[in-house]
Amino acid sequence: KNRDNNQNRDSIFITTIPCSNPVYLFLHAKILFFSIFFETITKPLRKKFIKPILFSILPDT
In this prediction the pTM is 0.34
Instruction: Write down the pLDDT at residue 18.
Output: 57
pLDDT of residue 33: 86
pLDDT at 37: 84
Whole-number Å distance between alpha carbons of 12 and 15: 5
What is the chain's pLDDT, residue by residue, as a tens digit (61 residues)? 555 555 555 555 555 555 566 777 788 788 888 888 888 877 777 677 766 777 777 666 5
Q: What share of the chain is helix, strand, coil (3-state, %, to 5)?
A: 85, 0, 15
Distance CA 42, CA 54 (A): 14
